Chain A
Amino acid sequence: MKKQKKQQAEAEKRIKTGKRPGERLTVMVMLFYGTAFLLLALRNAAWQGYALALGVPAAIWGGTHILGRCFHIDTLLFSLTNFLCALGILILYDTNPGLAYHQVVYYGVGLVGMVFCIYFMRAIRRIRGLGFVMIFLSVAFLTLPLLIGRETYGAKNWIYFHGISIQPSEFVKILLILILAWFMSRRQFLPWFLCAGGCLLCLMLQKDLGTALLYYGVTLLLFFASTANVPLTLLGLAGGGGAAVTGYRMFAHVKKRVAIWRNPWSDYENAGYQIVQSLMALASGSLLGVGLGLGSPTTIPVYETDFIFSVICEQFGLIFGVCVLLIYVAIIWRGTTIAMASRHSYQGLASMGATMMIGLQTFVIIGGVIKLIPLTGVTMPFVSSGGSSLVSSMCLTGLIQGVASLNEDDLEEDLKLTEI
């Protein structure tokens, strides 16, 4: 009994002082990036490298401790997202330092977005009339690339504004999750169905099939999570399969991608070049990797966005690649736990939706890179280069963090009840 009381007192003291049992994790992440950036700085002999070797670990430590004191944030989730973001900056600094500096700026913007989303989840517990405004905004944002966008890699999903390129579908992800969570928790079928349908139609017109797949998958998973209706979910799955077959028949570039997926070596100098280079990078990295800063990762086309996982595996090895995958698994596990612990269905569904979005996106891109599924043009969450992707991923984490902090508030209230 005494031992139990002592353990409880220690746990409470740890919580009060902000010390969590996994404090060591933050130190390890700091150590990892401190040494990695230092190694690259020694090669380049550039002051920026030394600045990153000091700045990145300091930012990780500061972010974890300062933000942890402002809200009841989930420190583990924050440490893991920090690890992945810093990994992206590290790889980009090695291959293209210019992109790395941009990525640092986007990370800062992402942090602001994350804090905003935490506040949003905490302050606006009921969307009510805002739901319809969000539906309008989502469809309007997705229509923009069709009107003023430019075609990039076969899809017209980017808009350019004063030298800044933005992918609206990345930000609509967040709105879509909030809309789905709100209307599904209210059991109002028509608004979310029309919104999801409208978004998918816009994405089909943009030929952005990778994002369409993500939207569809998340909608279906959230529908199942909110209703537990197996027959309708299976029907939706069959409908998705039918749409995929129709897409295959309608779009020439889908046919091409499926053909490359089945046998990339048949046209390895042209259409299959990207996937072949990726597979060769994975093979040359083997279990232990070729070493940070070595190898030839830049030979893979679009290595900085879609194929960044191949670069990681080439330089750090397959064992480290599996570690990165396990970190994604841990993020999904944590997000699902937070969603299930939520006492309000809207918040639970929002957290679940954000987790599913990150998980599905990771599966789609890594599955494409390792030739498990046909390749679709989506980014690797937190790691890939690009402001839209990084900021939206951080905002998704913000939604999960917001729900986590609300859960902690509820638990504290329960503890107060026992003290009466």
Chain B
Amino acid sequence: MSDELYSVLALGMRYWFIALGLLIVVQTFLWLYRDHREKHRRLKNLPDAGMIGEFVVLSGSKTLEEGRVIPVPWEGMMGSSGACDVVVPSPEFAPVHLYFSFVKGRGLQIETARGRSCYVDGVLQEYRKGTPDGKMIHGSILQVGDCVLRLRLFAGLDVERKAARKAEDDLKEYGMPVASQGVPRQGYDGWVDPQTEEERFTGIYLVKDEEQDGNEETKKATGGSRKKNKNR
């Protein structure tokens, strides 16, 4: 191709390239906007997305009222500072009191910050090199000073349910009474207190149906179900 012809062609094609460049940018930002909208829609359907459970305040202080629910993400810092992932507005907690991370099948691992301590299910946890992290499972209690928090886990619910079914079948096979056949126990704010190790691990209790007030009918449920939390 001659240089003159190429020059004319290249000059004409400038507009094509600029138009395509602009279209690519517009399409990119439209895509970003659509994804942003889709993410919001998904989060609307999944209000607990990104959370593995919640802490319920059983006993607090002036600034931390009883019954308060604090969502717990997969991992992060817990303390009274606003920069923490789990903010507990209580003077009992240090600005950064402990670090936590959720490990599938093992629960919430707790590691206290240097110079801090807490109780997990009555066992003292404090910062010391070489010591194992504290482990919190569904229903475990965290105590810092006078503040008492109970952990409810959502994550791993399917695993819990499978384990529960297997445990129930095993008990039936040996002709032993299943936990769900016992007397229903209504604890704090509809919360069922797991009293045995079996209940804690299998998650089978008898719960009074909150939606049918006055109705004596009870139903079997797995501990800390998402539906129950949403209703509350």
Q: A interface vs B, CB < 8 Å?
A: 11, 20-22, 24-25, 28-29, 31-32, 35-36, 39, 42-43, 45, 76, 80, 83, 187, 227-229, 288-289, 291-294, 316-317, 319-320, 323-324, 326-327, 330, 333-334, 337, 341, 343-345, 410-411, 414-418, 420
Contacts and interface: CB of A to CB of B under 8 A. Distances in A.
Interface of B: 1, 6-7, 9-11, 13-18, 20-25, 27-32, 34-36, 38-39, 42, 45-46, 48-50, 73-77, 83, 99, 101, 113, 154-155, 157-158, 161, 226
30 contacts: A11-B38, A22-B34, A28-B20, A28-B23, A29-B24, A35-B13, A39-B13, A42-B9, A45-B1, A76-B32, A228-B83, A288-B14, A291-B14, A294-B10, A294-B11, A316-B17, A316-B18, A319-B21, A320-B18, A323-B18, A327-B24, A327-B25, A330-B25, A330-B29, A337-B36, A343-B73, A344-B74, A345-B76, A414-B49, A418-B45
Contacts of A227: 83
B34 A21 contact: yes
A32 B20 contact: yes
B19 to A, nearest CB: 10
Given A76-B35, A343-B50, A411-B42, A292 B17 contact: yes
Nearest to B28: A330
A320 B14 CA distance: 10
B18 A288 contact: yes
From DSSP, what is the main secondary structure of chain B's interface residues? helix
Given A22-B27, A292-B13, A420-B158, A343 B74 contact: yes
Q: Which of B6, B29, B38 has the most CB of A within 10 A?
A: B6
B100 to A, nearest CB: 11
B29 A417 contact: no
Given A25-B24, A415-B46, A43 B18 contact: no
Contacts of A32: 17, 20-21, 24
Contact of B21 (A291, A323, A333): A323
Contacts of A39: 9-10, 13
A324 B50 CA distance: 34
Nearest to B45: A418
Contacts of A83: 24
A229 to B, nearest CB: 8
Contacts of B16: 35
A183 to B, nearest CB: 13
A25 B28 contact: yes
Given A36-B17, A343-B50, A420-B161, A187 B99 contact: yes
Given A21-B34, A326-B28, A417-B226, 17 more contacts: A22-B28, A25-B28, A28-B20, A28-B27, A32-B24, A35-B17, A42-B1, A45-B1, A76-B31, A228-B83, A288-B15, A319-B18, A323-B22, A323-B25, A324-B21, A326-B29, A414-B46
B228 to A, nearest CB: 13
Contacts of A316: 14, 17-18, 21
Contacts of A21: 30-31, 34
A334 B32 contact: yes
Contacts, number: 132
Nearest to B82: A228
A76 B46 contact: no
A327 B21 CA distance: 10
Contacts of B74: 343-344
B209 to A, nearest CB: 18
Contacts of B39: 341
Nearest to B52: A343
A23 B50 CA distance: 29
A333 B36 CA distance: 11
A22 B24 contact: no
B10 A291 contact: yes
B75 A344 contact: yes
Contact of A25 (B9, B10, B27, B154): B27
B224 to A, nearest CB: 12
Most buried by B among A35, A289, A414, A418: A414
B32 A417 contact: no
A323 B14 contact: no
B18 A22 contact: no
B142 to A, nearest CB: 19
Contacts of B25: 323, 326-327, 330
A13 B17 CA distance: 33
A320 B31 contact: no
A211 to B, nearest CB: 29
Contacts of A76: 28, 31-32, 35
Nearest to A418: B46
B21 A417 contact: no
Contact of A293 (B10, B36, B48, B75): B10
Of listed B21, B22, B48, residue having the most chain A CB within 10 A: B21
Contacts of A333: 32
Nearest to B29: A330
A417 B158 contact: yes
B6 A293 contact: yes
B39 to A, nearest CB: 8
